[in-house]
Amino acid sequence: MAPKAQWDWSVGSKTVVDLATNNDEVAWREESHASPDGEQVAAVVRTTDETYTVQVNDTLWESQFDRVWYLRYSPDGRLTALVNDGDWKLCVDEEAWEEGYGFVWNTLFSEDGSVIACSVSDSMQYGMIKDGEIWPNLFANANNFVLSADGAHTAAAVQTEPLGQAEIFKFKQGVFSVAVDGEPWERNFVNVWTPVISPSGTHVAAQVRLNLFEYTIACNGATWNETFSQVWEPCFHPKTNAIAAPVRLGGKWGMAVDGQVVWKPQFFQVWHQRYTPRGDRLIALVCPQYGRWTVAVDGQAWRTTFGDMISDLTTSPDGRRIAAVGKENERWTIIADDKAWPEMYDMCWKPVFSPNGDHVAAKVERSKKYTIVVDGKPYSKEFSECWDPIFSDDGNLILIRGIINNTYIRIVERVSTICG
Amino acid sequence: MSERVWIKDEGIERGAEALTPERIERTINAVLGNETGARLMAYVETCAHCGLCSEACHFYLSRDRDPSYSPVGKVKQTIWPMLKNKGKVSVEFMKQATQIAQTECNLCRRCVQYCPFGIDIAYMMTLVRRIVHKLELTPLYIQDTAHSHSATLNQMWVKDDEWIDALHWQEDELRDEFPTARIPLEKEGAEIMYSVIGPEPKFRTQLIYQAAAIMNVAGLDWTMPATPGWDNSDMAMFTGDSEIMARLKRAHFETAARLRVKKIVMGECGHAFRSVYDTGNRVLGWRMPPIPVIHALEFYWDLLNEGRIKVAKQIEEPVTFHDPCNVVRGRGLHEKAREVVRAFCKNLVEMHPNREHNLCCAAGGGVINCGPPFKNARVESNRAKAEQLKATGVKICIAPCHNCHGGLDDIIHKYELDMELKFLGEIIYECMEKPEAQ
């Protein structure tokens, strides 16, 4: 797939494929997936021979398999699937990785899509595969798998020692650690959760439980000096490798950076924290009042709150703007910079900022129809299916991918047309 | 009836070896001082010691009305002395308090209805369990289950790939009967996420099969996650490990939110419902579940009333229906359940008492999960339930809860009741119209 700037950004609508056209080889078609550039729509299909393959636009892959699932486009437009032809393999643009295994799952992509990884189990041993290369060491179990944003490293929580049935005392001695590129830390913990790889690739941090009650953050195997009654997943500062994590003290949640409390524990909940891209602000989803949810910026909660939940915290690429999905009384909307969109929807997807941060858009559902909304203004057409919108590099155009009347179409629209 | 025996459990015994009087005192006072408030004070000071709660308890009824098994008797042997002595209690006391709170109370809340003041004794037993957890005295088998929850986010040490493989396998099986049926994994934007408890992929896969059959026949837009977060169960809730409970419920709800579903439909489990609908969501700051949770009983009722499933035949034999505590006293689903049962069964014979007054199975509240050391005592402590079942005179008992199945199965064998247990989903699967089936 070409870089985004080279996609077809001509304003207008293009029919890519008529999905109603019958293919005699296809018994049924599963969920559709649109490529990032909108030029393809793909789905797992069951063939009349009772095998599985993939249909891209109106063409079937030549290969057929006992099973195909987890069809996903990488950010650079490659089409991946998990396939079984006796062994399990990851297939990229119809080319399966050479080696097959007992099971592969959980396809992961680097931020630009150039690196692809997945989880693997083989002969009751667990680990990861990155671009076809399996870890040098496998483990009795592994989970919480992660691929770094640049694709250079993989990590997971791993079980480094055998654990028999009901061996609760051995469990308390610690049999879990973090493996980075297959190499475990030297130290075990009672529990390990959510390893996170620093942008520099030099540090890996994770939540750990030291005994049944004390929680803290470990980085490259060394723990913070401070312990807490609970912690959630850590995140790295984009430039300094400082680590921020929500921590619970005295029954309330706050935020610690490198073990020091920087947000006073005053919230009923704090999670999904992240630094803005330049690292100048620390933001999170918080519960400032029991049963009410919002965004906090550097420890200050927004005034707009939601009763059901808040999710999908997002920043503009320059970090200037912040948005999230809010839910109240079973209805969803987008909140951006402490202002909720005027309309509520049956569902909202993660907000998407334009590259310059001037606009925020999201896929929404209303009465079983889907469309996209920009800055609170809905696009004029509704779809039976659609995908997240994508802005052009200058933010003036928006790519809309959707299905109307069984026809997959690709639309480029001026943002100003939607926003009025 | 045999006398109460203080049972040797490896978790309790080895945990007790590490205790000191100072640690006990410090821990009790920390929990009571930092984690309780007006609610506990009101319960303790309001209780008139009248003993009316006693008749509510299946342990008391089954143990020849031994007052030490009455709800207030359990409080008298646990939380009251802790308060009165300001935490200065012995190791032996704590071992006995552990057995009482963790294995002789199902947290079924039947006694709340018998108390003139509505005192929730289950809350106080939960508090004792929290202290037990902090003292590392939790019985071996349920502690192992809580450890499984912490390490895998499911109850049965099911590894990530094993879960997916179980679903693929059930989908393959399903195709033999319904050639175009699916168990759609990771379908973002589906209407329903279906969630189950750990034992289903481990050894009750037929329940996944039957649920998938119902979903397909009903023509629903549904999905199941291929990631941790699929298990709605929660034994950490019953070991007093609120922090692991919070971790489990966060994973469950965030999985549903990630999949953009409108609601979670859960299988026939009682304690898991308590965790997702009441305890686990609230410990995280959600007043109500952030994604609505529909228990299987209500779901079946909806399907039947919307005409999405239709009755093809009825069970001819008389059946009885066991009301699980957590979805009847906890959610009031008893009438909806009966409407579904009556639709698929010709003759529903009520056990007495029933509905919100039903007797507990003696397995719930994590009691059965304390494992073999406590099995005989547990089964002896539910003679009352056995008598209740026997009096119905029927041979099929519908029990829409996993723990209830375990507990009732044990007493059916012990008291030779010649009764078959069924989930309601099994009956529906067996009796519904299946237009697409081969």
Retrieve residue A222's tokens. 């060394």
Range B212-225 average pLDDT: 98
Q: How far apart are CA A56 and CA A92, in angstroms?
A: 13
Tell me whether residues A103 and B161 touch, CB distance under 8 A.
Answer: yes
Contact A346 B262 (CB under 8 A): yes
Q: Which residues of A touch B160 (CB under 8 A)?
A: 105-106, 119, 143
DSSP E strands, A35-175: 41-47, 52-56, 59-60, 67-73, 79-84, 88-92, 95-96, 103-109, 116-122, 125-130, 133-134, 141-147, 154-159
Which residue type, as a one-letter code, is found at position B272? A
Label residue A167 exposed, middle or buried (CB < 10 Å: 0-12, 13-18, 19+).
middle
| Minimal C-alpha gap between A296 and chain B (Å) | 16
Over residues B323-350, the pLDDT tens digits come to: 999 999 999 999 999 999 999 999 999 9
Residue B438 lies in a domain: no
One-letter amino acid for residue B294 of the chain: I
- Which one-letter amino acid corresponds to residue B410? D
Structure tokens at B58: 């299946």
Q: At residue A173, what is the residue type?
A: Q
Please check whether residue A293 touches B, CB under 8 A.
Answer: yes
Q: Work out the angle between the directed axes of helices B205-218 and B424-431 (0-180°, nearest 10).
A: 50
Chain A residue numbers with beta carbons less than 8 Å from the beta carbon of B11 are 168
Can you tell me the distance from the alpha carbon of A281 to that of A136, in angstroms, rounded to the nearest whole number? 39
Query: Rounded to a whole number, what is the distance in Å from the CA of A89 to chain B's nearest CA?
Result: 14
> Which of B11, B160, B241 is opposite residue A119, by nearest beta carbon?
B160
Do residue B151 and residue A176 have CB atoms under 8 angstroms apart? yes
- The DSSP bridge pattern shows strands A369-374 and A377-378 to be antiparallel
Chain A to chain B Cβ contacts (< 8 Å): 100
Residue B411 φ then ψ, to 5°? -75, -30
Residues B298 and B173 in one domain: yes
Asked whether the beta carbons of residue B136 and residue A212 sit closer than 8 angstroms, the reply is: yes
Q: In what order do the strands lie in the sheet with A183-184?
A: A141-147, A154-159, A176-180, A183-184
| Residues B294 and B200 reside in one and the same domain | yes
Residue B1: what pLDDT?
64
CB spacing of B161 vs A28 below 8 angstroms: no
CB B271 within 8 A of CB B403: yes
Asked if residue B14 and residue B96 are part of one domain, the reply reads: yes
Q: Are B181 and B123 contained in the same domain?
A: no
B129 and B22 in one domain?
yes
**Mean of pLDDT values over B349-369:** 97
pLDDT bucket at B300, cuts 50 / 70 / 90: very high
- Tell me whether the omega of the peptide bond preceding residue B353 falls within 30 degrees of 0, making it cis: yes
Nearest beta carbon to residue A308 from set B185, B247, B290: B290
Which residues, 6 or more positions from B38, have their beta carbon under 8 angstroms from its beta carbon?
none
DSSP B78-109: THHHHHHTTT---HHHHHHHHHHHHHS-----
Domain annotation covers residue B204: yes
Question: β-strand A41-47 against A26-34: which pairing, if any?
Answer: antiparallel
Residue pair A120/B161 in contact (Cβ under 8 Å)? The answer is no
CB of A291 within 8 Å of a chain B CB? The answer is yes
Contact residues, A window 300-339, toward B, CB-based 8 Å cutoff: 307-309, 311, 327, 330
Mean pLDDT of chain B: 97
Of B248, B273, B305, the residue at which a domain comes to its end is B305
Whole-angstrom CA distances from A238 to A203, A243, A322 are 12, 10, 17
Of B14, B182, B286, nearest to A309 by CB-CB distance is B286
- Asked whether residue B437 is assigned to any structural domain, the reply reads no
Are B339 and B268 part of one and the same domain?
Answer: no
Asked whether A154 and A180 are in contact (CB, 8 A), the reply is yes
Q: Are residues B176 and B299 in the same domain?
A: yes
Residue B396 belongs to some domain of the structure: yes
Burial (0-12, 13-18, 19+ Cβ within 10 Å), B239 = buried
CA distance B120 to chain A (A): 23
Question: Do B298 and B323 belong to one domain?
Answer: no
Range of the domain at B254: 155-305
Q: Which of B240, B270, B305 is the last residue of a domain?
A: B305
The number of distinct structural domains making up chain B is: 3
Q: What is the mean pLDDT of residues B415-428?
A: 98
The answer to whether residue B300 is domain-embedded is: yes
The complex scores an ipTM of 0.98
A269 touches chain B (CB under 8 A): yes
Q: Is B140 in contact with A31 (Cβ distance < 8 A)?
A: no
In a domain, B115, yes or no: yes
The verdict on A209 touching B (C-beta cutoff 8 Å) is yes
Taking only the tens of pLDDT, chain A with its 420 residues reads: 999 999 999 999 999 999 988 889 999 999 999 999 999 999 999 999 999 999 999 999 999 999 999 999 999 999 999 999 999 999 999 999 999 999 999 999 999 999 999 999 999 999 999 999 999 999 999 999 999 999 999 999 999 999 999 999 999 999 999 999 999 999 999 999 999 999 999 999 999 999 999 999 999 999 999 999 999 999 999 999 999 999 999 999 999 999 999 999 999 999 999 999 999 999 999 999 999 999 999 999 999 999 999 999 999 999 999 999 999 999 999 999 999 999 999 999 999 999 999 999 999 999 999 999 999 999 999 999 999 999 999 999 999 999 999 999 999 999 999 998
Q: Same domain, yes or no, for B359 and B408?
A: yes
Nearest to B223 by CA among A334, A45, A70, A47: A70
- At B275, the amino acid letter reads S
Q: What is the amino acid identity at position B179?
A: P
Domain stops at, among B270, B305, B340: B305
CB-CB under 8 Å, A271 with B187: no
Closest-CA residue of A relative to B256 is A311
Q: Do B140 and A159 touch (CB under 8 A)?
A: no
Contact B180 A70 (CB under 8 A): no
CA atoms within 13 A on the CB side of B217: 29
Q: Measured between CA atoms, how close is A150 to chain B, in angstroms? A: 23
Q: Which DSSP string corresponds to A60-89?
A: E-S--BSEEEEEEE-TTS-EEEEEESSSEE
Q: How far apart are CA A302 and CA A267, in angstroms?
A: 13
B130/B164 same-domain check: no
Question: Looking at the partner chain, which of A106, A121, A168 has a beta carbon nearest the beta carbon of B144?
Answer: A168
Cα–Cα dist B355/B338, whole Å:
10
Report the CATH number that the domain containing residue B134 is assigned in CATH: 1.10.1060
Same domain assignment for residues B25 and B50: yes
* Closest-CA residue to A177 (of A133, A134, A126): A126
A207 touches chain B (CB under 8 A): no
Quick: pLDDT tens for B388-405. Answer: 999 999 999 999 999 999
DSSP state, residue B182: -
Q: Is B271 exposed, middle or buried (0-12, 13-18, 19+ CB in 10 A)?
A: buried
Among A168, A176, A309, select the one facing B290 at the smallest CB separation: A309
Q: How far is CA B267 from CA B165, B196, B198, B199, in A?
A: 19, 5, 11, 11
- B163 and B238 fall within a common domain: yes
Is residue B199 assigned to a domain? yes
**Interior/surface letters A142-160, b for 16+ CB within 10 angstroms, e for the rest:** bbbbbbbbebebbbbbbbb
Q: Tell me whether residues B226 and A105 touch, CB distance under 8 A.
A: yes
**Domain assignment present for B177:** yes
Mean pLDDT, range B23-39, rounded to an integer: 97
